[in-house]
Each structure stands twice: as C-alpha cells, then as structure tokens.
C-alpha cells in the first residue's frame, strides 16, 4: 500500500513540474508577443540598421555597376523602353542638350537617356538625409572633380568620384555656409558616357565632310553636269536647291533629282533636296502640276484645317518628285503694304492668323515626311526694300518685334519647328554691325537663348545682293557660322559655293571657328536627316493626273 502511495505521489509531483514548465513557456511566448506588439506601436525611433560608412560603401558598390538604391538596371545598357515598362513616368519628359530626362517620383528617381539608352540616374531618397558633407570627406576622401551650380533657387556643390572606368558617382548637396557648415546630401547621380548613333557617325567623319554638310548649294541647268557632280562628290555638300531654271518637265525633274542622289552614294549622309514651293507665285515645280493658292488666299479663309490640307498637298507634290525639304511656309506678318517682296506670300497682316495658319501648313508638310523651313526670321513683313536687290533696314526695338513679327516664330518654336531660315535684314536696335543672317545677338542671343530654339538654323541665300553688295560671300559665310548658323544657303554659282567651303576650312585652320562649333551644326543636320529618314533612294514616275485630281479636290473645299 505504501509502495502504491509513493508511486501516485511521484506522478503528481511530475505532473506539477511539467505543468509549471508549460505555463512558464506559455508565459514567455505571451510576453514576447506583447513585447512585439508594443514595439509596433512604439513612438521611439528605431536604431539604424546600418552605419553611414556602410551606407556610403553600399552606394559606391552599386555605382560601380551603374545602379542606385532603386534603379537596378544598368546605366549605359538599360533602354528607356525597359524603364518605361517597369516604372510609371510623371509629367512630360524634359529635353535638354545633354539628353531627355524623365521623373519617376515613386522611385525617388530621375532618369536621363540619350539615343534611347540610360546614361544618368539620379536618386533622391530620404535615406540620403542621413549623409552629411563631412561624412563624404571622412569616408570617401577628396573627390576627383568638384563642380558648382547656382541659379535663383539653388546653390549647389557637386562632388564627383570616378568609381570605375565606366561610371562617375556624383554627390549633390548645398554649398556649406557659416550657418550650415555640414549640409546633408540632396541627391546622387550615377553617370556614364553614352555615344549615340549620331555621335558615332560624327566621330568617323573628316573635317571636310563636316564642313560640306553646312552648305546647301544651287545647281546649274536641267541635268547633272560636271560642276554639280564636283560639289557633291568632292566637296560633299549637305544638300541642293532647285529653282525654276532647273525644272522643265516632270520626267526631267525626277531624273535630275535622282542623278544628284546617285552621285551622293559614297558620302556619309543623304542629301537635302530642297525647293521653294510655297504656292501662289512662288511655285517651282513643272507647269504640268496644278497651282495651289497663295498664302494670302488661305489667310482669307481663316481655316486651320484648310491650311493643314494645303500643307499636306504641298508635301505630296514634293515627295513624288524626290524632294525632301520645302522652303515654306512664310511666317512673315504682312504689316507694310509697300513691301515689294512678301505681299501675298504672307497669310495675313494679323500675327495671330499667320501663327494659326502658318503652323498648320507647316504640320501638313511634315505629315508627308518633307522638312518644312519657316521663314524669314525675325520677320520680313515690314520692309520696303527687296533683299534680293539691297539690304533692308528695320529700325524696330526688340519690344516692338515681340508685339508683331516674332509672334508667329515663337508659336512655331513651341510647335517644334525643325528649321528656321534667317533673313538678310539689318536691325540696328539689335545689332548695328551685321544683318540678322550674320548676327550673333540675333541668331544666338535672340533665337537660340531667348526664344529657346534648338532646331536647325539656316541663312537665306547668301548670293542675294543684300549680302554681296556689302560683303564678300566667303567672309559673310564665316561670320554667319560664328554667329550661330548651321547651314549656309548658296543658291547660285558653284564657284561661290566652293569659296564658302574653302573659307570655312581656313577659318577652322586659323582657329576663328573651332571644330567643336562645326560639330554642333553637323549634329543638328545629322539628327534632322535621321529624324525624317532621308535616303538617296530614287523617286519614281510622277502620276500627274492623280496629283492634279487631288489638288482640284482640295481647291473645291
């Protein structure tokens, strides 16, 4: 009996021990759970998971691979299309000289692309606020380069480290001041050089090929001759212009254009094949082609859709003949009834009408893959002298021009005009020395900087007496390029074209013009030719009957 009692007692003690252990464990789990729950609602800051030194080391390692904390593609390899597939862009991408920048706020990132490839990755996450100016000095040492940036809203210092042969890591932060001697990082950027297709082509071109691209030349006769062939094959001109004396029949014109393109086959870029086909009295195509109305007649309709249709029809005409550039539309405001050169070539004396109809005509031409050239900047409408015969003078201030002449050109720039032609007009209030076509204050100062125009700038014909009565054509061409022109139009006399090309070569050799300045213009020319997919492929036979039928249909509207 005692033995049984001892056994029962032992079992009871063991049970209490086990129960106590179980309760203790459950109590521990409950305590841990409560601790976790409390920590989730705690208002006290958590300890940083990594040190600043570790964070800097991580960013540097990512930069060596072309990455940032949120961008795990590879700068220099990842395409803009791939970024777009993964990330949602905010707002309209910004076009700059460096590239196209798009903002991705959900990823604290701004991505720069060139030729569709990511080259600049900017990251502005909140975690960078833990990094200070002195941390960079202490952990990364002196940068390879230091740059500064200052405008009305920012005063920044940029520390640049070459973290690998391919990548730079840039730290952008406010300039240290006595009040804030140790500022925090604003953002970082991982940058790599990306060579676009155009840059690669440019690097392979000779100086002679580059300078040739800066010239559109007039040609002789109604078929290719030795002089024209020499301009293309030896001087490698960028384009040709046709006038009425180069045009006879439809078959002859197509054959002439095709023969010039064939002569250009060994050159690095296709030709601009250009012509003045405005409609009305300025129409160079063969007489078999039905006429289109003047700009003034279009202006009287005040119908933008009609203007667009006219532009499309102009483009169709030129495409069939093998032309890819049209010196139209005219954006001059016809404000002077005594103007001997503009008149009904202008849409109106009202700048709003000129803007609305001129831009729609421009877009209609573009629609047919023909390059429109808006003209004659900064406005030829208030002149009483024909620049073909003498140099006109317009004594208006910039403020006066902004209230009238510049309005259509500003609108064209907003609508991404590809080419602006600059007139031979002296505007002494803007430049007392040179006409607009040779003026740095007008071409670079007004058109480029003030109006923000990034497209191609070309001169009116440099063989016009507005120039030749006052300057040697070679001197004028050099001054025009120095002023900011990209293309010099030499519409008559192959000898004058050669003189211009030789003068530009000499200007580079004597360092009046840098090769970099030439490259800037060639890049714009190249980008435009690639944008419109220009080709030296031959045009086919013109269907005159069908073309005229379409023109008549347009005129009935």
Question: Domain holding 366: CATH number?
Answer: 3.20.20.300
Indicate if the pLDDT at residue 34 is higher than 50: no
**Lowest mean pLDDT across 155-159, 283-287, 391-395, 509-513:** 391-395
Strand partners, 102: 111
**Residues classed as catalytic:** 388, 460
Question: Which pLDDT tens digit goes with each residue over 301-349?
Answer: 999 999 999 999 999 999 999 999 999 999 999 988 777 678 899 999 9
> Looking at the domain assignment, is residue 221 inside a domain?
yes
Cβ-contact 264, 536 below 8 angstroms: yes
Model pTM?
0.77
CA–CA distance from 488 to each of 219, 233, 328, 529 (Å)?
Answer: 15, 18, 17, 16
Tell whether 176 and 262 lie within a shared domain: no
Smallest CA-to-CA distance from 242 within 327, 317, 313 is with: 327
Provide the greatest CA pair distance for the chain: 142
Q: What is the full DSSP assignment across 416-454?
A: T-SEEEEP--B-TTT-SSS-GGG-HIIIIIIIIIIS---
Strand partners, 172: 158, 187
Indicate if the pLDDT at residue 29 is higher than 70: no
The domain boundary, picked from 137, 163, 194, lies at 194
Question: 26: pLDDT confidence band, cut at 50, 70 and 90?
Answer: very low
Cβ-contact 167, 64 below 8 angstroms: yes
Smallest CA-to-CA distance from 219 within 234, 244, 241, 237 is with: 241
In sign, the C-alpha dihedral spanning 79, 82, 84, 86 is negative
In sign, the C-alpha dihedral spanning 396, 401, 402, 403 is positive
Question: Domain holding 146: CATH number?
Answer: 3.40.33.10
Question: Which pLDDT tens digit goes with each residue over 169-218?
Answer: 999 999 999 999 999 999 999 999 998 888 889 999 999 999 999 999 99
Tell whether 187 and 215 lie within a shared domain: no
Indicate if the pLDDT at residue 49 is higher than 80: no
Tell whether 78 and 146 lie within a shared domain: yes
CA–CA distance from 327 to each of 243, 383, 385, 437 (Å)?
Answer: 11, 20, 21, 16
- Locate 131 and state its tokens: 């990094």
**What average pLDDT does range 24-33 have in this prediction?**
33
pLDDT attached to residue 50? 86
Cβ-Cβ contacts under 8 Å for 325 (sequence gap 6 or more)? 239, 272, 273, 274, 275, 370, 371, 373, 419
Tell whether 214 and 189 lie within a shared domain: no
CA distance 384 to 340: 6
Tell whether 169 and 316 lie within a shared domain: no
> Looking at the domain assignment, is residue 77 inside a domain?
yes
> Looking at the domain assignment, is residue 12 inside a domain?
no
Neighbour order of strands in the sheet with 145-150: 90-95, 100-104, 109-114, 117-123, 187-191, 168-174, 155-162, 145-150
Cβ-Cβ contacts under 8 Å for 241 (sequence gap 6 or more)? 216, 217, 218, 219, 274, 275, 276, 327, 489, 491
Strand partners, 330: 375
Tell whether 339 and 400 lie within a shared domain: yes
Give the count of beta carbons closer than 10 Å to the beta carbon of residue 36: 9
- Locate 193 and state its tokens: 């050089």
Tell whether 181 and 226 lie within a shared domain: no
- Locate 374 and state its tokens: 């808006």
- Locate 20 and state its tokens: 């106590």
Give the count of beta carbons closer than 10 Å to the beta carbon of residue 502: 13
φ/ψ of 328, rounded to 5, equals -165, 155
Indicate if the pLDDT at residue 30 is higher than 90: no
pLDDT attached to residue 54? 93
> Looking at the domain assignment, is residue 523 inside a domain?
yes
Cβ-Cβ contacts under 8 Å for 495 (sequence gap 6 or more)? none
Question: Which pLDDT tens digit goes with each residue over 71-93?
Answer: 999 999 999 999 999 999 998 89
pLDDT attached to residue 3? 41
> Looking at the domain assignment, is residue 200 inside a domain?
no
Tell whether 182 and 226 lie within a shared domain: no
> Looking at the domain assignment, is residue 526 inside a domain?
yes
Tell whether 312 and 360 lie within a shared domain: yes
Indicate if the pLDDT at residue 31 is higher than 80: no
> Looking at the domain assignment, is residue 45 inside a domain?
no
Tell whether 383 and 235 lie within a shared domain: yes
Q: What is the full DSSP assignment across 270-320?
A: PPEEEE-EEETTEE-S-TTSPPPPPHHHHHHHT-HHHHHHHHHHHHHHHHH
With tokens 């009408």, the residue in question is 353
CA distance 557 to 552: 9
CA–CA distance from 22 to each of 13, 30, 80, 278, 514 (Å)?
Answer: 14, 12, 61, 97, 88
> Looking at the domain assignment, is residue 204 inside a domain?
no
φ/ψ of 333, rounded to 5, equals -90, 125
Smallest CA-to-CA distance from 326 within 367, 261, 370, 360 is with: 370
Question: Which pLDDT tens digit goes with each residue over 276-292?
Answer: 999 999 999 999 999 99
Tell whether 259 and 181 lie within a shared domain: no
CA distance 113 to 194: 9
Tell whether 221 and 362 lie within a shared domain: yes
pLDDT attached to residue 500? 97
CA distance 484 to 518: 10
Question: Domain span at residue 288?
Answer: 210-415+457-463+484-492+514-551
Q: Mean pLDDT over all residues of the chain?
A: 89
Question: Which pLDDT tens digit goes with each residue over 390-419?
Answer: 688 888 999 999 999 999 999 999 999 999
**What average pLDDT does range 474-480 have in this prediction?**
96
Cβ-Cβ contacts under 8 Å for 55 (sequence gap 6 or more)? 127, 130, 131
- Locate 317 and state its tokens: 């005409």
Number of independent structural domains in the chain: 2
φ/ψ of 207, rounded to 5, equals -60, -40
CA distance 174 to 136: 13
């Amino acid at each position: 009996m005692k033995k049984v009692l001892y056994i029962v007692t032992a079992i009871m003690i063991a049970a209490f021990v086990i129960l106590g252990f179980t309760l203790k464990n459950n109590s521990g789990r409950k305590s841990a759970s409560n601790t976790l729950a409390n920590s989730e609602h705690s208002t006290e800051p958590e300890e940083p998971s990594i040190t600043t030194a570790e964070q800097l080391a991580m960013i540097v390692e990512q930069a060596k691979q072309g990455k940032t904390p949120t961008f795990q593609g590879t700068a220099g390899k990842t395409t803009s299309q791939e970024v777009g597939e993964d990330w949602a862009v905010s707002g309209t991408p910004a076009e700059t000289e460096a590239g196209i920048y798009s903002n991705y706020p959900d990823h604290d990132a701004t991505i720069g692309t060139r030729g569709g490839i990511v080259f600049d990755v900017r990251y502005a996450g909140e975690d960078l606020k833990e990094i200070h100016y002195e941390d960079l000095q202490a952990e990364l040492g002196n940068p390879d380069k230091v740059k500064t940036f200052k405008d009305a809203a920012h005063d920044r210092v940029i520390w640049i480290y070459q973290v690998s042969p391919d990548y730079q890591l840039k730290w952008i932060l406010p300039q240290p001041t006595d009040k804030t001697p140790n500022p925090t990082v604003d953002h970082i950027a991982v940058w790599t050089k990306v060579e676009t297709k155009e840059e690669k082509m440019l690097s392979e071109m000779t100086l002679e090929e580059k300078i040739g691209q800066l010239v559109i030349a007039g040609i002789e006769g109604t078929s290719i001759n030795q002089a024209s062939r020499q301009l293309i094959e030896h001087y490698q001109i960028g384009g040709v212009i046709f006038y009425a004396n180069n045009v006879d029949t439809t078959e002859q014109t197509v054959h002439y254009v095709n023969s010039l393109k064939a002569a250009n086959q060994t050159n690095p870029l296709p030709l601009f094949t250009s012509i003045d086909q405005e409609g009305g009295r300025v129409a160079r195509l063969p007489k078999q082609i039905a006429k289109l109305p003047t700009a003034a007649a279009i202006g009287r309709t005040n119908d933008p859709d009609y203007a667009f249709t006219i532009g499309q029809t102009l483009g169709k005409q030129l495409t069939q003949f093998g032309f890819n550039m049209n010196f139209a539309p005219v954006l001059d405001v016809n404000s002077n009834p005594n103007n001997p050169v503009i008149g009904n070539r202008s849409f109106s004396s009202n700048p709003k009408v000129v803007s609305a109809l001129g831009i729609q005509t421009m877009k209609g031409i573009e629609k047919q893959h023909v390059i429109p050239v808006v003209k004659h900047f900064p406005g030829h409408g208030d002149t009483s002298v024909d620049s073909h015969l003498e140099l006109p003078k317009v004594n208006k201030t910039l403020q006066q021009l902004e209230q009238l002449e510049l309005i259509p050109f500003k609108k064209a720039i907003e609508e991404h005009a590809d080419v602006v032609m600059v007139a031979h007009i002296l505007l002494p209030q803007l430049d007392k020395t040179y006409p607009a076509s040779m003026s740095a204050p007008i071409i670079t100062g007004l058109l480029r900087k003030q109006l923000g125009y990034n497209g191609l700038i070309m001169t009116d014909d440099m063989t016009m007496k507005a120039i030749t009565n006052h300057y040697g054509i070679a001197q004028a061409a050099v001054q025009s390029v120095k002023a900011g022109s990209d293309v010099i139009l030499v519409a008559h006399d192959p000898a004058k074209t050669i003189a211009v090309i030789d003068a530009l070569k000499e200007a580079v050799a004597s360092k009046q013009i840098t090769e970099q300045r030439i490259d800037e213009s060639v890049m714009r020319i190249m980008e435009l030719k690639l944008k419109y997919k220009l080709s030296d492929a031959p045009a086919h036979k013109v269907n005159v009957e069908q073309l005229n039928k379409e023109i008549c249909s347009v005129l009935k509207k």
